Amino acid sequence: MDLFRAVPGVKCGRIGVRAQTGYGDTSFSQALHNGDSLFLVCRQHQNVHDKVYSRCKKRRQMPFYCFIIHTNFYKMRAMSTTLDRYIQNLIVTEPLMQPLFKEAIQALDLPPGSRGLDVGCGIGFQCLLLADAVGPEGHVTGLDITPEFLTYGAEMIKNSGFMSRVTLENGDMNALPFGDNTFDWLWSANCAGYPAREPLPMVKELARVIKPGGKIALLIYASQMLLPGYPALEARLNATPAGIAPFTAEMKPETHHMRVLGWFQRAGLEDVSVQTFVGGFHSPLSDEIRSAVEALFDMRWGSAEPEMRQEEWALFRRLTKPNSPEYILNLPGYYGFIAVSMFRGKVV
């Protein structure tokens, strides 16, 4: 299942089509075409971006919009809000995350025809994967507290052919708008427990809406290795507030999202277990994977500069700036990975 064909406006397939602007790979990595727009991921300087914009607009003779991954480029033409940027980051990183989500969902072995709840569904990527897993007789309800995500997700689901099998609703996971024993299972990826200052009431509320014998699965982003050969630098980045987010230094250790097993046990769930899924990537990188890793650089550490020494931050920028001679993704032997952990338990 190619989720990119469900993204609103996308008509010609996956991210990775290069636009012909005459500026070569120093100015951009990839383009995503649709019927009347061109979305361009720029990689260098704002003045180069403006030249690319002008030339594309002239040659394409169509509306042109642009989103930019790097922190320095957040003065954008179309991505005017934080939510817009977050949605675009979800889209760009999906080629990295989707295989892990699929593997985790397969491991859950959801019953065909079952009805489930995706808590913190965002724009609905996993809703589609879950609906595919439970088959045409099953149903998935996606819940999110952010209306803008649901608006975008509704359009994506409309384009996907899953409209009768996926419903999106606005609501808070701490006060679910559903009756007791409504669903056969519950899934939440990078939401429930992010962060959980009082995790036990949250888990009990999640369990309330699941039928006895049903499953609860929380998928948590666990780790990554994106800067091979620079373990000290990556460790420093991971130790910054940006690196440990959404956890904060002031929070109690037992509320950390990697302590979900204990939350489930205290909430009375049975058959509690955890499984970790690792996705690796290596050179030569496809355009879509390259852009996804670049987005991860920014999402994980883009705001870490205030906590870093000047020389450390300068090294990080040299390693992650595409036009730098030290750009790490250009290494012929580059390898990196990301890991997610799925915590699950059975409601009694």
Tens digits of per-residue pLDDT, 201-224? 999 999 999 999 999 999 999 999
Residue 256 has pLDDT above 50, yes or no: yes
- Beta 166-170 vs 335-346: how paired, if at all? unpaired
Residue 64 has pLDDT above 90, yes or no: no
Supply the pLDDT for residue 103.
Answer: 98
pLDDT band at residue 275 using 50, 70 and 90 as cut-offs: very high
Supply the pLDDT for residue 230.
Answer: 98
The single residue listed with the structure tokens 């630098």 is 233
Q: Are 215 and 187 in contact (CB under 8 A)?
A: no
Spell out the residues 6+ positions from residue 320 whose beta carbon is closer than 8 angstroms to its own: 294, 297, 327, 328
Residue 31 has pLDDT above 60, yes or no: no
Q: How far is CA 248 from CA 193, 196, 304, in A?
A: 13, 11, 14
Domain shared by 64 and 92, yes or no: no
Q: What is the enclosing helix (H) or strand (E) of 40? A: strand 38-42
Spell out the residues 6+ positions from residue 219 whose beta carbon is closer than 8 angstroms to its own: 101, 104, 187, 188, 189, 190, 340, 341, 342, 343
Average pLDDT of the residues in 48-69? 33
Residue 191 has pLDDT above 80, yes or no: yes
Q: Are 82 and 259 in contact (CB under 8 A)?
A: no
What's at 111, amino acid-wise?
A: P
Supply the pLDDT for residue 196.
Answer: 61
Lowest mean pLDDT among 38-42, 164-168, 184-188, 217-221: 38-42
For 188, the domain range is 85-280+339-346
Domain shared by 140 and 271, yes or no: yes
Average pLDDT of the residues in 123-127? 95
Average pLDDT of the residues in 182-206? 90
Helix (H, G, I), strand (E, B) or coil at 305: helix
Supply the pLDDT for residue 195.
Answer: 64
Domain shared by 154 and 206, yes or no: yes
Look at residue 324 and tell me if it is in a domain.
Answer: no
Domain shared by 33 and 149, yes or no: no
**Mean pLDDT of all residues in the chain?**
80
**Domain end position, chosen among 80, 111, 141:** 80
Supply the pLDDT for residue 72.
Answer: 30
Q: Are 277 and 340 in contact (CB under 8 A)?
A: yes
Supply the pLDDT for residue 81.
Answer: 59
Supply the pLDDT for residue 55.
Answer: 37
Number of domains the chain is built from: 2
Domain shared by 74 and 95, yes or no: no
Supply the pLDDT for residue 271.
Answer: 98
Residue 30 has pLDDT above 60, yes or no: no
Look at residue 95 and tell me if it is in a domain.
Answer: yes
Lowest mean pLDDT among 50-59, 115-124, 162-171, 320-329: 50-59
Average pLDDT of the residues in 79-83? 58
Supply the pLDDT for residue 251.
Answer: 87
Domain shared by 47 and 90, yes or no: no
Domain shared by 123 and 16, yes or no: no
**Domain end position, chosen among 80, 103, 126:** 80
- The tokens for 268 are 């009375």
Supply the pLDDT for residue 28.
Answer: 29
**Domain end position, chosen among 80, 96, 114:** 80
Backbone angles phi, psi at 200, to 5 degrees: -65, -50
Look at residue 187 and tell me if it is in a domain.
Answer: yes
Distance of alpha carbon 170 from the chain centroid: 20
Kindly report whether the global pTM for this prediction surpasses the value 0.75: yes
Residue 40 has pLDDT above 90, yes or no: no
Supply the pLDDT for residue 75.
Answer: 33
Burial of 81 (0-12, 13-18, 19+ CB in 10 A): exposed
Considering only CA atoms, which of 83, 69, 27 is closest in space to residue 50?
27
Q: Which of 23 and 236 is assigned the larger pLDDT?
A: 236
